[in-house]
Amino acid sequence: MNQNYIIAIDHGTTGSRVFCFDEKGEVLSSSYREFTQHFPRPGWVEHDPEEIWAGIKFLIQDAINKKDLSPKNAIAIGITNQRETVVVWDKVTQKPIYKAIVWQCRRTSDLCEDLKQKGYENLIRNKTGLVIDAYFSGTKIKWILDNVEGARDLAKNGRLQAGTMDSWLLYKLTGEHKTDYTNASRTMIYNIKDKKWDEELLELLTIPKNILPEVLPSRAYFGKTKDIQILPDGIPVYALIGDQQSALFGQLCVNSGEAKNTYGTGCFLLFNTGNEFIISNSGLLTTLACNKDGNPAYALEGAVFIAGAVVQWLRDYMKFFSNAKETEDLIKNIKDDDDVVVVPAFVGLGAPHWDMKARGAIFGLTRDTTPAKITRAALKSIAFQTYDLVSAMEKDTGKKLPYLRVDGGATSNHYLMQFQADILNRRVERPKNIDTTAAGSAYLAGIQAGLWKDADELSQWIQDRTIFEPKMTEEERKKQLSYWHKGVDRVKNWIE
């Protein structure tokens, strides 16, 4: 097919997708593949960067072939990625020196506690907008340098390059070592006020600056394809952006006061604050996002570590069902309500609690508790965690969100979306295209390519939304929230 298109690479935590978007911002084709999750020790999570790159190459080829598109008609590439996950590679061998350490990994929890005990919390908070937590990239890079034999010598000799997964994919596509503001803002070593790697924080974590990528706006020229066989040389990479900021842009929440929530492996609520740098008093993060032109803006963010991942756990480890899509059928015939509560703190609790010691639990079990009831409680846990984020955000901004825009794979579950509207007591809006993470990177690449002027030109394509209105009584809502918060209180600081 002789048609121009944009390739959007959407690299997630459990799988990757590649989309082809036409010049009107519509999806032509897509392809998806999961990759291996490695758990070498309790609380440790790793990925194989080489497996991920091999999968991306396959997906690009597959997405192109599905619509018989010509590789030479790809006019731009946009990349969006799981944030905070880091990889360090040797630029001579072009191979990683260790597996990628995933954002969910808790191996640096003790290091983070030590930084807190030494009083660095306010310093890091005021420079990066982040709390000290093993979630973020900086301590992961330090761990690799400290624990992989010969790593620090390689760094001194100028052979190592480190970065989040966008940097790794860009390197494999183009040979360039770059990242964008949004990914850099998640490392705990990037000053989001001055927009540069922070010398004081680098010294604190003993990370040499020479191994870090150049940082550019999310919409920029990052390089062009070179020697990758599946695509011709010279296709420009015009967008790099962290997945949650990409979804914010894909939902066109590009003005101050607009917010979205993405339901994926984790759950992420972003509230655009424009040019205003706000330090949260309610356990939220301050991060960099994009305005309508693709230039930096600030946002408040609430992060839930385990959302869709709790459904995957029920599928893969509990064997309650074989496909996540089966959950609605599984629970639809439950007649009675119950007080079963699942708190999926498998890797600690994120915002607004930030408890690295918390662990998951199921409360309220009785002899007649079935897999269906546990599954329903697991779905509710995703909505409850989102409620906690919305409450914290409203407290910080002094504004009540009139509605919640949602996206991500889990939003296809009608039960979850209705319960989310019920527990929030406000409407939930789901777009026709729930893959707004990929759309955001495609839109940014298209703007850089000159297809569109800015986000305002794109608004016509995401007006078609499904609306979920709240139906739950106030009495029932309070009861449900009471059960949830009792469960959360019990799992906090489980391991002292």
What is the side-by-side order of every strand in the sheet holding 267-274? Answer: 285-290, 296-304, 267-274, 259-263, 403-407, 427-431, 465-468
In this structure, what are the phi and psi dihedrals at residue 437, rounded to the nearest 5 degrees? -60, -50
What is the spatial distance between Cα 424 and Cα 481, in angstroms, rounded to a whole number? 10
3-state secondary structure 255-322: CCCCEEEEECCCEEEEEEEECCCCCCCCCCEEEEEECCCCCEEEEEEEEECCCHHHHHHHHHCCCCCC
What is the spatial distance between Cα 5 and Cα 275, in angstroms, rounded to a whole number? 33
Q: Which residue in 64, 66, 38 sits closest to 51, CA to CA?
A: 38
In this structure, what are the phi and psi dihedrals at residue 380, rounded to the nearest 5 degrees? -60, -35
Residue-level pLDDT, tens digit, the chain, 496 residues = 688 999 999 999 889 999 999 988 889 999 999 999 999 998 899 999 999 999 999 999 999 999 999 999 999 999 999 999 999 999 999 999 999 999 989 999 999 999 999 999 999 999 999 989 898 999 999 999 999 999 999 999 999 999 999 999 999 999 999 999 999 999 999 999 999 999 999 999 999 999 999 999 999 999 999 999 899 999 999 999 999 999 999 988 888 888 899 898 888 899 888 898 988 888 888 999 999 889 999 999 988 889 999 999 999 999 999 998 899 999 988 877 888 999 999 988 888 887 878 999 999 999 999 999 999 999 999 999 999 999 988 888 888 888 899 988 899 999 999 999 999 999 999 988 777 889 999 999 999 999 998 888 887 665 667 899 999 999 999 999 999 999 999 998 776 5
Domains for the chain: give ranges and CATH numbers: 5-244 (3.30.420.40)
Q: Which residue has the tokens 């929530």?
A: 261
Model-level pTM?
0.84
- Reading the block at residue 80, the tokens are 């969006």
| Residue 24 CB neighbours (<10 A) | 11
Are 270 and 260 in contact, with CB atoms under 8 Å apart? yes
CA dihedral 271, 277, 283, 289 (to 10 degrees): 40
- Strand ranges (E), 294-401: 296-304, 341-343, 361-363
User: Which pLDDT score, from 0 to 100, does residue 461 have?
Assistant: 60
- Reading the block at residue 174, the tokens are 């183009």
